[in-house]
A and B are shown apart, each in its own frame.
Chain A
Amino acid sequence: DTGVSQDPRHKITKRGQNVTFRCDPISEHNRLYWYRQTLGQGPEFLTYFQNEAQLEKSRLLSDRFSAERPKGSFSTLEIQRTEQGDSAMYLCASTGEPRGYNEQFFGPGTRLTVL
Chain B
Amino acid sequence: SQKIEQNSEALNIQEGKTATLTCNYTNYSPAYLQWYRQDPGRGPVFLLLIRENEKEKRKERLKVTFDTTLKQSLFHITASQPADSATYLCALGNYGQNFVFGPGTRLSVLP
B-binding residues in A (CB < 8 A): 2, 4, 33, 35, 40-45, 48, 56, 91, 93, 101-109, 111
Q: Which residues of B contact A107 (CB under 8 A)?
A: 43
* Residue contact B43 to A2, C-beta cutoff 8 Å: yes
* Residue contact A33 to B99, C-beta cutoff 8 Å: yes
* Residue contact B45 to A33, C-beta cutoff 8 Å: no
Chain B residue, CB-CB nearest to A48: B98
Q: Is B44 an interface residue (CB 8 A)?
A: yes
From DSSP, what is the main secondary structure of chain A's interface residues?
strand
A-binding residues in B (CB < 8 A): 4, 9, 32, 34, 36, 41-46, 49, 89, 91, 93, 95, 97-104
Q: Which residues of B contact A106 (CB under 8 A)?
A: 43-45
* Residue contact A42 to B104, C-beta cutoff 8 Å: yes
Interchain residue pairs A-B with the least CB separation, the first 4: A106-B43, A42-B101, A45-B98, A103-B46
CA A106 to CA B97, docked complex, whole Å: 17
Query: What are 5 residue pairs bridging A and B, where the CB atoms are less than 8 Å apart in the complex?
Result: A2-B43, A42-B91, A45-B100, A56-B98, A103-B34
CA A24 to CA B84, docked complex, whole Å: 29
CB distance from A105 to the nearest CB of B (A): 7
Chain A residue, CB-CB nearest to B93: A102
* Residue contact A44 to B101, C-beta cutoff 8 Å: yes
* Residue contact A2 to B100, C-beta cutoff 8 Å: no
CA A4 to CA B97, docked complex, whole Å: 21
CB distance from A103 to the nearest CB of B (A): 5
* Residue contact B93 to A33, C-beta cutoff 8 Å: no
CA A93 to CA B41, docked complex, whole Å: 15
Chain B residue, CB-CB nearest to A57: B98
